Structure formats: structure tokens, C-alpha cells
Amino acid sequence: WQTLVGGLLLHVSWKLGWVEINLCSRSEILSWLPASVLFVAIIYAGSRALSRLPIPVFLTVHNAAEVITCGFQKFVQKESTNPRSFFFLHSVLFLLVAAVCLPLCDTQFDPNGYLWALIHLICVGAYKVFHKLWKPSSLSDLDQQYINYVFSILLCPSGDLFSALDFPFLYFYRFHGSCCASGLLGFFLMLHTVKLKSSTTSGQYAAWSFLAK
């Protein structure tokens, strides 16, 4: 629902000239498709995990994805250590400790829920690593998000789509209102994130992003 509403809003905003989207280069669109596959996996695994885990538990595991990107920067890209990155490393380790200790203290431990949360975590980390490695020449953040939206709508798992017909609250107006509100808020959050990223340095953006977590 969120990707459908977000995709429609982004498409309408593009057609009305409110945002600029440039999808002229087919080769760059194809090169971004692996990230779109990861984007779909993030949504699917996340929805599976959320159906079994409380939201605070899911968010704790989700935030631990920073461990993957931080480890990649530290051990693969061999980024130099400075006081700010040293503090960031320790903060990420706290996130990892929290995520590891969480299932040990969970009195309602659901192995399937944590399995989907782990898959979600890995996909989020892989998406961020791919984004760091990918060197676009013309695709902007909005271009990438537009491709993600379209790809996620096209790859919606048909089995889950038909099983959704059995959802007990499918015909409740509050459910549809909540879905639309989720898509609308997600869309504005995405626009704000893109604007923040373009108006700040990479270090400032990383700090704001980590503070939000």
C-alpha cells in the first residue's frame, strides 16, 4: 500500500512539474535494478516480520542494519578513523548489542518473526552498501526511488496479494484510511529525506539519520 500510494504521488508530482525525474538512460536504470530487488525484499521481509513482532522489537532489529554499512566502511573501504567515526562505531555497536540481547529477553519469542526480521536487516544493509558502491552519473535520489516504487508494484507477490482477500479488516474504512495515511506520510518523509540529503554534507546527513534512529 505504501509503495503504491507513494508511487502514484511521486508520478503525479512529476507530471505536474513539482519534482524533477529523469529516466532517459536505460543502462543506468538497469544497473539500479539490483537495488530495486533489495527494496522489494526489504518491504516483503519487513511486512512479514511486523505481522509477528511488536513494532519496538522490529525497529530495534531494523536499526541494527547500520552494523553492516559501518562494517563495510571500516573493513572493506578501509576508511580512516577519526573521533567522530569512532563515536559512531561505538553507537552502532550499542545497536548491535540491543538487537542481539532482544530475543534473549523476549518472553514471547517468535522464531519465524525474528527470522524475517533478520532477512529484513540483511536486505537493508545490502541496499545501503549497494548504494554506496553504485556511482550514478545522472540518476538522482528521486529517480532511484521512482524506479523502486515501480519495481515493487510490478513484483508484488501474487500469492500474498490473493491471501490479502482473507484479511479480516479488509473492508473496514479505517484500514484503508490507515493504508493511505501510511503511504502519504512515507511519501513526504522520502521527499524530506531527499531534501535534507541535498542540503547538508554527508557527515551531517549521517548524523541526522543516526539521531532519527
- pLDDT at position 200 is 72
Low-confidence residues of the chain: pLDDT under 70:
1, 77-90, 135-137, 156-173, 175, 202-213
- SS3 string, the chain, reads CHHHHHHHHHHHHHHCCCCCCCCCCHHHHHHHHHHHHHHHHHHHHHHHHHCCCCHHHHHHHHHCCHHHHHHHHHHHCCCCCCHHHHHHHHHHHHHHHHHHHHHHHCCCCCHHHHHHHHHHHHHHHHHHHHHHHCCCCCCCHHHHHHHHHHHHHHCCCHHHHHHHHHCCCCCCHHHHHHHHHHHHHHHHHHHHHHHHHHHCCHHHHHHHHHHHC
Is-above-0.85 flag for pTM?
A: no
- pLDDT at position 83 is 45
- pLDDT at position 90 is 67
